[in-house]
Structure 1
Amino acid sequence: MLHPDALPPLRHHRLWRPKRVLVTRGARAFPRALAMAERAAALGAEVVELPNDRLTGLASGESPAADYRLAKNTMAIVVASAAKRRLQPIPPSADWRFDLAEGCPAHCQYCYLAGSLAGPPITRVYANVEEIFDGLAAYVGQGTVTSASAERSGEGTTFEASCYADPLGVEHLTGSLSEAVSFFGRWDAPVQLRFTTKFADVSPLLGLEHRGRTRVRMSVNAAHLIRFEGGTSPLPERLRALGQLARAGYRVGLTVAPIQPVDDWRTGYAALFADAARELAGAPDLDLTAELITHRFTPKSKGVLQGWYPASKLEMDEEKRSRKLTKFGSVKHVYPAATMKEMRAELTGLLGRHLPQAKVLYWT
């Protein structure tokens, strides 16, 4: 088995290059917005200064497919309102959710944002990150996940930054994630920043004074399922990046999602965990977690995703699923109980074999 340092170098990381950047009037009051727009312009984006705070020109009027392409190539620099800055609980991941952005430039055919965010799938990034950070202190010591758990109390009050976005996927344009890591590193309190990503360019994070207060989880899946994740970093690069972060002293994790029992899945997940173990070999004081999330969909998300990806081979057959009601009374389709039990036993067993140091936080 090769030590990670002996592995071949990664190819140049794939960076998102939006074709159009919309800057609202309110955002232009923040110097950060200008810096974001300049970075995007340097990558070839057209920068449009809007006369007010209303986002316009989000639809091409040609076809749903054209509207989708236009939205996915658009970044909007906006201001997070006071309502947006009020934190919401986000179990089972963390005590609280806060956002540096909303939306994602990737093209995942099972994207859960399809059922969560309304309107065209543009990526909004926030210019007023200092105001967002200023509001976090009021939530320390509160929450129902790590703050209230004896088992996870060592994590402190946890703040999730990737519920509605992949902040690393736009970091080369925003710089906001590096600011968040540094902010938590300076914060003298029992707190932890958490985010998960499908992107591998972690170079902006490696030299930061994080002081162990950030956990970076890499979103991974069996290799044959990565084909559903267009516009993201290849799986080997993600795992290599996770090893780099671990050796830089970060707490790290695997977000295995969405787990699907298709195409020789046992072999695929065994290979995933074996590869992860290879990349993490030699990391000092490794602090590793695993979050295991099975595939599910709602009638709304299925309709949106099939509109976005009409040729997708992703299985979303209600006849093969169990119907479950959420706490809000809405319907979601999950795998039958027997399938869930089988997958859980297999994946936790594989983790124990290949990554015995990994702490499984939850299965859902």
Structure 2
Amino acid sequence: MRTHAERMLDVRTIFHEPGIDRFARGAEVLARFPDAERVEVLSHQAIPALHGNAGAVADWVRNKREVLVLGEKKSLAARPNGRSTDFIAPSTSNGCAMACSYCYVPRRKGYANPITVFVNIERILGYLERHAGRQGPKTEPNQVDPVDWVYDLGENGDCSVDALVSDNVRDLVDLFARLPGARGSFATKFVNRDLLTWDPRGGTRVRFSLMPEEQSKVLDLRTSRIAERIAAIDDFVEAGYEVHLNFSPVVVHEGWLAQWDELLQQVADGVGQRARAQLACEIIFLTHNEQLHEVNLGWHPRGEDQLWRPDLQQPKVSQSGQRNVRYRTGWKGRWVGQLTDLVEQRLPGCRVRYAF
């Protein structure tokens, strides 16, 4: 029987920028998939067969499983965040092999969203080390972390899956294992036990994303089962990671709070005292998008029955001009309070870092 990782990726086509093998990481990834067809493209951001090709909707999952993109990250910047982390680190990848139907990344990439690996990892690591060094000690605790400056490492993908493709994530974990006053952080829906053999030395925070199992079966396509994620928490803490929970997205429907009650009890029953002592969480209610809704109707309409609820949602134009929808003002505040109270009841001592 094939492992979850083997089912996740069967790379048959690699789109790559010119001369990508001049980078050691690029050569390594190409060698990892020797039988894949190689297609040279001018830019990882403009691949006609993927981006803007409406016909690719029908191959949504196949592209994620069989296509890989290699490129160079040209612009490096650590953007202030303040919610989940202090800064968002320059991406070492973009896209994902999983197929969560609420994911916001495809809004920017068009009709296909496979993994893009950025191969100039040495430049990215150097930038992060210099940036962290310039911050100096964190003088005031905040809800992100009381001591360290925290960097989000996986804004546009899932680091646990990225680690199946290249050593970029291991290089990041190694960097933050030795950087004083700085910590890496990423959210994940995939249990990659290879990460347990690394030596993070407390420098990386893994945020396991959780939602009720019945919803996950419909919305979290190609991810690890919820029970498997909960079962991994103790192991990751034992391996030297800090582990938090990411209750996201919270999707409201009839009976939603009872499902979350059951999930929180699963966590309470499945996590040991050492993990519980360092546990914290963040709660993020669903924000959906009109364009993504239309795309999803082309490949996974069943998920939209839960995600697209005009009776519960109101429009919101984002800072980038995107037409999003979120739960109605007034109702959402009440629901946030209900779930926050439930976390306090079922997981006493688990700090809610933020909820919105």
Same fold (TM over 0.5): yes
Residue in 2 that maps onto 1:162: 154
Asked whether the equivalents of residues 199 and 239 of structure 2 are also in contact (C-alpha less than 8 Å), the reply is no
Q: Report the residue type matching 1:58 in the other structure.
A: A
Report how far residue 56 of structure 1 moved.
4.3
Note if 1:264 corresponds to 2:258. Answer: no
Residue in 2 that maps onto 1:298: 289
Residue in 2 that maps onto 1:358: 350
Q: 1:152 to 1:125 in 2, by over 3 A?
A: closer
1:39 to 32, 37, 52: 32
TM-score (normalizing by structure 2): 0.86
Residue in 2 that maps onto 1:7: none
Residues 267-303 of structure 1 deviation map (CA, whole Å, 9 limit, x = unaligned): 2111211222233214368321211011111323323
SS in 2 for 1:258: strand
Report how far residue 258 of structure 1 moved.
1.1
Report how far residue 325 of structure 1 moved.
4.0
Q: 1:70 to 1:152 in 2, by over 3 A?
A: closer
Question: How many angstroms apart in 2 are the aligned matches of 1:218 and 1:284?
Answer: 13
Residue in 2 that maps onto 1:78: 71
Q: 1:13 to 1:328 in 2, by over 3 A?
A: closer
Report how far residue 314 of structure 1 moved.
3.0
Note if 1:218 corresponds to 2:208. Answer: yes
Question: How many angstroms apart in 1 are the aligned matches of 2:54 and 2:265?
Answer: 47
Q: Report the residue type matching 1:95 in the other structure.
A: D
Asked whether the equivalents of residues 141 and 147 of structure 2 are also in contact (C-alpha less than 8 Å), the reply is no
2:270 to 262, 279, 282: 279
Q: 1:37 to 1:286 in 2, by over 3 A?
A: farther
Report how far residue 360 of structure 1 moved.
0.9
2:15 to 3, 15, 22: 22
SS in 2 for 1:192: strand
Residue in 1 that maps onto 2:127: 135
RMSD, aligned α-carbons: 2.8
Question: How many angstroms apart in 1 are the aligned matches of 2:263 and 2:100?
Answer: 19
Asked whether the equivalents of residues 284 and 355 of structure 2 are also in contact (C-alpha less than 8 Å), the reply is yes
Question: How many angstroms apart in 2 are the aligned matches of 1:147 and 1:326?
Answer: 32
SS in 2 for 1:80: coil
Asked whether the equivalents of residues 206 and 245 of structure 1 are also in contact (C-alpha less than 8 Å), the reply is yes
Report how far residue 198 of structure 1 moved.
0.7
Q: Report the residue type matching 2:132 in the other structure.
A: V
Residues 14-59 of structure 1 deviation map (CA, whole Å, 9 limit, x = unaligned): 4421332223324211122222223234xxx514152755664624
TM-score (normalizing by structure 1): 0.84
Q: 1:335 to 1:50 in 2, by over 3 A?
A: same
How many aligned positions are there? 345
Q: 1:49 to 1:276 in 2, by over 3 A?
A: same
Q: Report the residue type matching 2:211 in the other structure.
A: N
Report how far residue 152 of structure 1 moved.
4.3
Note if 1:114 corresponds to 2:106. Answer: yes
- Overall identity of the aligned pairs, in %: 21
Q: Report the residue type matching 2:325 in the other structure.
A: H
SS in 1 for 2:274: coil
Report how far residue 264 of structure 1 moved.
1.9
Question: How many angstroms apart in 1 are the aligned matches of 2:284 and 2:290?
Answer: 19
Question: How many angstroms apart in 1 are the aligned matches of 2:148 and 2:156?
Answer: 22
Residue in 2 that maps onto 1:4: none
Q: 1:304 to 1:285 in 2, by over 3 A?
A: closer
Q: Report the residue type matching 1:232 in the other structure.
A: T
In the alignment, structure 1 segments of 5+ residues that lack a partner are 1-10
Q: 1:113 to 1:318 in 2, by over 3 A?
A: same
Range that drifts further, 317-326 or 273-282: 317-326
Residue in 1 that maps onto 2:328: 336
Question: How many angstroms apart in 2 are the aligned matches of 1:66 and 1:221?
Answer: 27
Q: 1:150 to 1:232 in 2, by over 3 A?
A: closer
Residue in 2 that maps onto 1:5: none
Asked whether the equivalents of residues 276 and 350 of structure 2 are also in contact (C-alpha less than 8 Å), the reply is no
Note if 1:231 corresponds to 2:222. Answer: yes
Residues 118-153 of structure 1 deviation map (CA, whole Å, 9 limit, x = unaligned): 46323101111111011113433789xx88754545
Residues 172-206 of structure 1 deviation map (CA, whole Å, 9 limit, x = unaligned): 2212111111111022x2111000011012x2222
Residue in 1 that maps onto 2:186: 195
Residues 188-227 of structure 1 deviation map (CA, whole Å, 9 limit, x = unaligned): x2111000011012x2222322221110001110111102
Asked whether the equivalents of residues 95 and 142 of structure 1 are also in contact (C-alpha less than 8 Å), the reply is no
SS in 1 for 2:175: helix
2:308 to 289, 311, 316: 316
